[in-house]
Structure 1
Amino acid sequence: MVEIRKAAHRDLGAIVAMLADDALGLSREVVSDPVDSRYEAAFAAIDADPNQLLAVVVRADGAVIGCLQVSFIPGLSRLGLWRGQIESVRIASGERGGGLGRLMIGWAIEECRKRGCGLVQLTSDKRREEALRFYESLGFEATHEGFKMNL
């Protein structure tokens, strides 16, 4: 039995640990106690923004075992269509493979519907081949090429 809920400040350390819980994440995240101040500032900004939803999955024993962020994005294209952007999807390594990812993404899609979004999109690093297959199995299509530039 799990609960999916809006993340609280007390969840921040567990979220950061999940973001770093693979080789790729470990190369770009900093796990520390106390939590790095940059994560503190980001959490405060996300928490204050009504178009951001940082969510966690919590087991009955209180352990945080999953997280994701949904950004609700207004746009002019497609007749003013709102989009839901799903990011930072992570499941604790000991909990993977049990259907939790499907539950989380289904929950996020429903949150997008509730907010009036007409499209849900996400990105995943090309090096995360299992994740790419997973998202395709859920019905997501790789319709666009994405580009990023570090600043």
Structure 2
Amino acid sequence: MTIDISIEKARPEHLAPILSILIAGAAGARIGQESDNVEEYRAAFDAMLAAPEMDVYVALSPEGEVLGTYQIHFLKGLAFRGRSRVELESVHTREDMRGKGIGALMMAHAEALAREAGAGLMQLTSNKVRVDAHRFYDRLGFAQSHLGFKKML
């Protein structure tokens, strides 16, 4: 079942619902580390919206309700003959809206942007405990090709 949505660049008024979705989907080291104080995130969000190499998108219901979100980063590099790559981050659908095709529409949107920019590949990481998300990415054609490592600072 697919729901009627639009996907748009996030605006300042979307910050609170984006945070709500991200906090609800926290896994691993992020659990308990986030705050529900929107103003603690405002400067970072504003900087992200202004950054030319990235964008934050939201999936909106016809009424303007935020149902999902993702961040897209265009990374320069030498691999693949210097073609850019796209890193997707914080891909989340609101918990009560999962299974309705919103995530697939957001991923298709991101892929269209990547292709339009001439990127050589799209990549993302997903916390190892998010098994349902891994199945979702597999269905979309993503291959689990690397091990990821993080160091909390």
One-letter identity of the residue aligned with 2:97: E
RMSD of aligned Cα (Å): 1.3
2:147 & 2:122 partners in 1: Cα distance? 16
1:19-34 correspondence to structure 2 within 5 Å: 19-22=22-25, 24=27, 26-32=31-37
Task: Give the Cα–Cα distance (whole angstroms) in 1 for the partners of residues 101 and 86 of structure 2.
Answer: 22
Q: CA deviation at 1:28?
A: 3.0
Aligned-partner SS, 2:64: coil
Q: Counterpart of 2:145 in 1: which secondary structure?
A: coil
4+ runs deviating over 4 angstroms: none
Q: Take 1:85 and 1:23, find their aligned partners in 2: how far apart are those partners?
A: 19
Matched residue type, 2:137:
Y
TM-score by length of 2: 0.92
- What is the percent sequence identity of the aligned residues? 39
In the alignment, structure 1 segments of 5+ residues that lack a partner are none
> 1:43 matched to which residue of 2?
45
Give the 3-state SS of the residue equivalent to 1:127 in structure 2: coil
Look up the equivalent residue of 1:110 and give its one-letter code. Answer: A
Is there any run of 5+ residues in structure 2 with no aligned partner, and where?
none
2:100 to 87, 98, 101: 98
CA distance in 1, matches of 2:26, 2:6: 28
TM normalised by structure 1 equals 0.93
Partner amino acid, structure 2, of 1:55:
Y
Task: Select the structure with the greater relative contact order (CA < 8 A; seq sep ≥ 6).
Answer: 2
Aligned residues: 148
| 2:99 pairs with 1:72 | no
- 1:54 and 1:68 in contact (8 A); partners too: yes
Structure 1 position 11 matched with structure 2 position 14: yes
Give the letter aligned to residue 4 of structure 1: I
